[in-house]
Amino acid sequence: MNRLPLRVACFVLQGLLVSGGLLTFDAMLTANEYLDSRFPQFEPELRALLAQHCVVRPLKAGEKMLQTGQYFRSTMLVAEGRAKLYREGEEGGEFFMYYLEPGQACALSMVCSDRQQSSEVMAVAEEDTVVLLLPLDLMDDLMRQFRSWYYFVIETYRSRYEELLVVIDHVIFKGMDERLEFYLKNQYDKLQKRDLSITHQQIANDLNTSREVISRLLKKMEQQGRLVLHRNYIEWRG
Amino acid sequence: MNRLPLRVACFVLQGLLVSGGLLTFDAMLTANEYLDSRFPQFEPELRALLAQHCVVRPLKAGEKMLQTGQYFRSTMLVAEGRAKLYREGEEGGEFFMYYLEPGQACALSMVCSDRQQSSEVMAVAEEDTVVLLLPLDLMDDLMRQFRSWYYFVIETYRSRYEELLVVIDHVIFKGMDERLEFYLKNQYDKLQKRDLSITHQQIANDLNTSREVISRLLKKMEQQGRLVLHRNYIEWRG
DNA sequence: GTGGCTATGTGACTAAAGTCACTGTGCAGG
DNA sequence: CCTGCACAGTGACTTTAGTCACATAGCCAC
């Protein structure tokens, strides 16, 4: 919501025309610009240091950021777009956990340990996304030198932990109907669009259930006037 | 496992007789002693500082450490015993998440934020337990001054986050039979006793299901020779 | 050793979710 | 305009889990 003016300002600054409001990679900013706009809470010296060491990495929608079992090479900060984090089951199946948005970071990639740490989750760019990659061996110094950095790390862990708590709550205490409703509401809140372009199959994947179950529940919600079903999208009435 | 010699040594030091191997509160150590034995990774100055500011709080088995909705007043380090963390559902029901053991801390209580933060989970002492309480406003300074402290905080969050991931995995991808098996194995690993003194009802509560379901699954496992059922305890054959 | 309490065993039923098989439908590309 | 295809709708059935009702079985206290 409050990100849009800023984004527009940056584009204007560069004198670029962006089609349909979507980020095109031509419009990519520099590390410095991303840090200033997305991570304003960092001290200027910290931003300068990060800019010096980070790699700006654009990802196309659908591209994988992180694979289960993959070793971390760097800390990832999300600068633009949206990353979807989900857990994979050993025998197939997946389960959506939460999104990472601009200004947030992947908690698991922030451990400042020597031992190689492998990822327990999958992350994929849901739209065209830009991430800043920071070498892991920088973490220790940042932690020691910059107060805003360790606040950021702690806050990242805390908020991701609490997201997981909410997820657990739903899975344990709620039925599929409530989980579906929460899922749709969540989508609506994030995107701020009444038309959610998503198929029943995609929802079923995210909730780790089958399409038929979702179709039936959606139909029931439609009959209650809580939404309208269309091909390839769902019209949400919050 | 490796805690016992230490514990015994401390008792001997104090010339106390401890009945049945259980900690009696007469045998309680000083903050300094707990810190030295349970948190040896902390710098000596950090331990000294913590000892100066902390309160040693004994809890009887079953006593509540943390209530859902309660505001944090202090950071809690577990020095002795075992704390059980679980989530409560809005309409009743509970769900076991994990244990906190000596040397560990409650992640949620470590946030160094000004705003009042209320607990999202319940914690109860599973056996007689000793916790060290640290004033929240100390956190900031500790974080800045002591490297081993922020390692500890980060590691606490990381490990609790990963515990939650495992929990989610089981709930999402596994049936009740596998979850029960994992639960029992977990109990066995933690206690290192083949006889798990627990009732079917307690298990059912922890897994948020009904006693009958647990009884039936246990019976099935008994028929497969994976355990032997008794009144009030279960004999585990790993 | 008997009464009472708690823990456990079990059959029968209900509910929720998952599976299978097949039908309908909007839409893009020839 | 029709055809192929991905998406969506639906009935029938299976499986898993949760509920209800009641039977048994240890165990402690008196």
Element at B79 (helix H, strand E): strand B74-80
Assigned CATH class of A176-236: mainly alpha
Would the CATH topology of B4-173 be identical to that of B176-236? no
Q: Look at A145-149, B10-14, B123-127, B136-140 and tell me which has the smallest mean pLDDT.
A: B10-14
Å between A139 CA and nearest CA of chain B: 11
Separation between Cα atoms, residue B76 and residue B125, nearest integer Å: 12
Mapping DSSP to helix (H, G, I), strand (E, B) and coil, where does residue B24 land?
A: coil
- pLDDT per residue of chain A (238 residues) written in tens, 0 to 9: 333 343 333 333 333 333 333 445 556 889 999 999 999 999 999 999 999 999 999 999 999 999 888 888 899 999 999 999 999 998 889 999 999 999 999 998 887 665 667 788 999 999 999 999 999 989 888 988 898 998 899 899 999 999 999 999 999 999 999 999 999 999 999 989 999 999 999 999 999 999 999 999 999 999 999 999 999 999 999 7
| CA of A122, C1' of C27: distance in angstroms | 33
CB contact under 8 A, B111 and A154: yes
CA of B70: how far to CAs of B66, B140, B157, in Å?
7, 22, 20
- For A61, residues 6+ apart whose C-beta sits below 8 A from its C-beta are A125, A126, A127, A128, A129
What pLDDT does B21 receive?
Answer: 38
Please report the pLDDT score of residue A112 as a whole number: 60
- Note whether A176 contacts B: Cβ–Cβ < 8 A: no
Residues with CB under 7 A from strand D: A 199-201, 211-212, 215-216, 218-219, 229, 231-232; B 175-177, 208-210, 212-213, 231
pLDDT 10s digits, B89-107 = 988 899 999 999 999 999 9
Residue that is written with structure tokens 């500790």 in the block: B142
Residue A114, pLDDT score: 57
Which residue in B91, B153, B162 is closest to A154 by CB distance?
B153
Sign of CA dihedral A98, B120, A173, A190: negative
A231 Cβ within 7 A of any nucleic strand C atom: yes
pLDDT score for A25: 53
The answer to whether the Cβ–Cβ distance between A97 and B168 falls below 8 Å is yes
The answer to whether residue A120 neighbours chain B at the CB level (below 8 Å) is: yes
Distance CA A167, CA A208 (A): 13
Q: Does B91 touch chain A (CB under 8 A)?
A: yes
Q: Do B144 and A147 touch (CB under 8 A)?
A: yes
Q: How is A127-192 classified by DSSP, letter by letter? A: SSEEEEEEEGGGHHHHHHH-HHHHHHHHHHHHHHHHHHHHHHHHHHH--HHHHHHHHHHHHHHHH-
Q: Any chain B CB within 8 A of the CB of A165?
A: yes
Distance, CA of B44 to C1' of D12, in Å:
71
Smallest Cα–Cα separation from A142: which of A119, A110, A189? A110
Strand-strand pairing, A233-236 and B122-125 = unpaired
- Does the structural domain A4-173 have CATH classification 2.60.120.10? yes
pLDDT value, residue A217: 98
Helix axis angle, B4-14 to B31-38, nearest 10°: 150
Chain C positions under 7 Å from a protein CB?
A: 6-12, 16-21, 26-27
Q: How many residues appear in chain B?
A: 238
How much is the pLDDT for B222? Answer: 96
Q: Do B118 and B38 meet the contact criterion of CB atoms below 8 Å apart? A: no
Residues B43, B92: contact at Cβ < 8 Å?
no
Record the tokens describing residue B228, joined without a space: 């032997």
Tell me what pLDDT residue B114 has.
58
DSSP A75-92: EEEEEES-EEEEEE-TTS
Kindly list the domain boundaries of chain A, sorted by start residue: 4-173, 176-236
Q: How confident is the model at residue B59 (pLDDT cuts 50, 70, 90)?
A: very high
A121 touches chain B (CB under 8 A): yes
Q: Which residues of B touch A97 (CB under 8 A)?
A: 168
Q: Is the pLDDT of residue B67 over 70?
A: yes
Q: What is the mean pLDDT of residues B74-79?
A: 95
